[in-house]
Amino acid sequence: MGKLLAEDTRRHHRSLILQHLFAEGPASRADLARATGLTRVTVSDLVGGLLADGLLSELGSPAESKVGKPPTLVGLLADAAHIVALDLSPADRMTGAVVNLFGQVKARAGVVLDGATGEEAVRLAVGLAQELREAAGAPVLGVGVGTPGVVDGRGVILDAHNLHWAGVDLTGILRRKLDLPVYVANDANTAVLAEYAFGGTTAADLMLLRIGIGVGAGLVVGGALVQGHAWAAGEIGHVVVDPEGVRCACGKTGCLETILSAPHLRGSDRPLASVGTVLGGVLAPVVAALNLHEVVLAGPPDLLDGELRLALDRCVRDRVMAASSADLVVRMSPLGDDVVLVGAAVLVLSGELGVS
C-alpha cells in the first residue's frame, strides 16, 4: 500500500515536470522546482530518471545568461517516443500516422474501406495500427484513435452507424492485438484536444466544430474535455434548425447537419452566409451559457473560411450580451486535415505522460 502510494506520487510529480516542459519549453532544474513547487532534490532526482529514460535531454545554457554559472536547460526530446494515431472519420477510408511527442507527423498510412463495416472494418483498423507500429522510428508510447460516433469512458464505441458499430470495444481489441496502451475517443473530441494542445491557443474555454460528411463538436471548458453524462456532449449536428427541411439520416427532419455538412454545402444553392447565420443561432446560447473564449472551425477552408465564418461571427455577437462576446474569437483551426490524428496522439500523451 505504502509502496503503491509512493509510486503514484512519483508518477504524479514526473507528470508535473513533463507538463511544464511540454507547455513552456526547455527549463532549468531551478525553474522546474519553482514552477512545480517540488524541492530541488526531488526535481533533480526525477529529471535524472527522465534523462535515463531518454525522454529528456540536456540542452546546454541559455545564451543570454551573463551572471554566475549559467543553469543547464533540459527539454523534451521530440522523437524520444512515437505514437500511432488513427482517424476513422473519413467516409471512404481510414487514415493513420506516426506522430512524435511534439505532435509532428513522421509517417503516414491509410486503408480504403471499400464498403467494409462491422468486424471487417475492425480488422482494417487493427491492420492499419500494426502497419504504423512497424513504421515508427522510436519506441511506441501507445495507440490513439479518433472515431465517429459516441464513445464511452472506457473507449467502447457505443454507436457509429456508418461503420455499423454498436458496443464495439475497439480499445480492448487493439490492446490485445498490439500489446500497447490504447485510447479511443470521438473524432470531434480528439480534434478539440489537438486544438487545445497544439493549435497555438491560450484559450482554456473553446469549442471546435468539425464539418465534414457530418457535423460534430468538441468542448474544452476550464481546460478539461466535456464528455456529458451519456458521453454525447458536442452532438449538435442533429439539433433541428428547419422543421420544414430535409429528412436527416438520424430520422429527424431539418437537422443542422442537413444544411452544414460539406456535401450539403457543396450541393445546395443556399448562400454560405445564410448557413453561417443559422449556425450562429445554434451556437449563440452555447457561447453565452459557457462564456466560451473561442469557436474554432475545422473542415474545408474553401467552404468555411469566408462568408460562412464571418456571418457566424456576426450572428453570435448580435445575439449575446457584450460581456459574452467581448473577447470571443471565431477562427479556423490551423491543424487542417490532421486535426483528428494529432488529437488522437494527445489522448496518448495525456494518458501515458500526463501532459496535454
Provide the binding-site residues for Zn ion, judged by CB under 5 A. Answer: 238, 248, 250, 252, 255
**CB of residue 254 to Zn ion, shortest distance in Å:** 8
Which 3-state string (H, E, C) describes 45-100?
HHHHHHHHCCCEEECCCCCCCCCCCCCCEEEECCCCCEEEEEECCCCCEEEEEEEE
Residue 258 beta carbon to Zn ion: minimum distance, rounded to whole angstroms: 7
Which residue, 235 or 352, is less far from Zn ion as judged by CB? 235
**Cell numbers at 67, concatenated:** 551572471
Q: Which is nearer to Zn ion, 257 or 313 (CB)?
A: 257
Nearest to 108 by CA among 91, 118, 96, 125: 96
Q: How far is the CB of 109 from Zn ion (least distance, A)?
A: 32
Q: Tell the smallest beta-carbon distance from residue 292 to Zn ion (Å).
A: 23
164 Rama class: left (phi>0) / alpha (psi -120 to 50) / beta: left
Smallest distance, Zn ion to C-beta of residue 148, A? 14
Nearest to 196 by CA among 177, 224, 157: 224
- Between 96 and 299, whose beta carbon lies closer to Zn ion? 299
Which of 342, 341, 340, 338 lies closest to 356, judged by CA? 342
- The burial of 332, by beta-carbon neighbours within 10 Å (0-12 exposed, 13-18 middle, 19 or more buried), is given as middle
Q: How far apart are CA 259 and CA 220, in angstroms?
A: 25
Give the DSSP H or E segment for 221: strand 215-221
Q: Which is nearer to Zn ion, 177 or 264 (CB)?
A: 264
Report residue 172: phi and psi, to 5°.
-65, -40
Closest CA to 249 of 123, 155, 182, 162: 162
- Tell the smallest beta-carbon distance from residue 250 to Zn ion (Å): 3
**Least distance to Zn ion, CB of residue 216, Å:** 12
Terminal CA-CA length for the chain: 29
In angstroms, what is the minimal distance from the CB of 300 to Zn ion?
Answer: 20
- Closer CB to Zn ion, 107 or 239, in the complex: 239
* Residue among 10 and 252 whose Cβ is closer to Zn ion: 252
41 or 246: CB nearest Zn ion: 246
β-pairing, 73-76 with 93-100?
unpaired
Nearest distance, CB of residue 249 and Zn ion, angstroms: 6
Instruction: State the CB neighbour count (10 A cutoff) for residue 2.
Output: 6
Of 213 and 250, CB closest to Zn ion: 250
* Cβ closest to Zn ion, residue 90 vs residue 254: 254
Burial class of 71 by CB neighbour count within 10 A (0 to 12, 13 to 18, 19+): middle
